[in-house]
Amino acid sequence: MGQVKTNKICVGVLIDESGSMGGEEIEKARQAAIFLNEVFKKMSGVELFIYGHSADIRFSGATEINVYKEPGKVTDMYALGSVHARSENRDGTAILATAQRIRKRTKNNGILFVLSDGGPCARGYHGASAIADVRKKVHEAENLGFQVIQISINTCVPSKDMFNHYITMTDIKNLPKDMVTYMSRKVDHLIKERVFV
């Protein structure tokens, strides 16, 4: 019957808070999340969602999602300072659960940035089958209207094995330039136009 058009987009950020992210990796992830928050929170027409994830803390097989920022939810402005390495990571489950959670809160299409070292590993979830699960769940998240982009930090599994879109972060100082360069080439025209107007 027609198309619904909007000038709004949503931007999601999902931070891997697994044990393997300890030390330098979690510091880079925290800085990158703060940078993304500062960039997108100032843009009108952008709905910003920021989460962290770990697994097997409460019980074996559980995936825990930590909410750092959601539109309409009062959160501590310094919440991202509490991002830290926790336990395991069931990446595929966390990516799809985050995309579904965002989709329940907005109909707008957008970007989901995944900050991780790319090593899915939890109880009963590791190796080739976990890598295949991440790839499958990334595809399912993209079918929900998200362009999923990994920002890889000292990755232990090649990003191309799980993600169609990725940026390798070596130094937080280079991230803004790397993001602009990547997004100007790769991100869908509608999203790129909205974000960089």
pLDDT digits (tens, 9 = 90+) for 130-146: 999 999 999 999 999 99
Mean pLDDT of 72-89: 86
Query: Which residue type does 48 have?
Result: L
pLDDT digits (tens, 9 = 90+) for 51-70: 999 999 999 989 999 999 99
State the fold for domain 9-196.
Rossmann fold (3.40.50)
pLDDT band at 188 (very low <50, low <70, confident <90, very high): low
Ranges of each domain in the chain: 9-196
In this prediction the pTM is 0.87
Of 151, 84, 146, nearest in space to 115 by CA = 151
Q: Bridge partners of 53?
A: 16, 65
Note whether 175 and 32 are within 8 A (CB): yes
Q: Greatest CA span in the chain, whole angstroms?
A: 53
Q: Is the pLDDT of residue 190 over 50?
A: no
d(CA 136, CA 69): 26
Sheet architecture: strand order including 9-16: 63-69, 46-55, 9-16, 110-116, 146-153, 165-169
Residue 56: both structure tokens together: 């097997």
How many residues make up the chain in this entry?
Answer: 197
Query: Which residue type does 70 have?
Result: E
Question: 172 Cβ partners below 8 Å, 6+ apart?
Answer: 28, 31, 32, 35
Q: Quote the percentage of the chain above a pLDDT of 90.
A: 55
Mean pLDDT of 11-25: 92
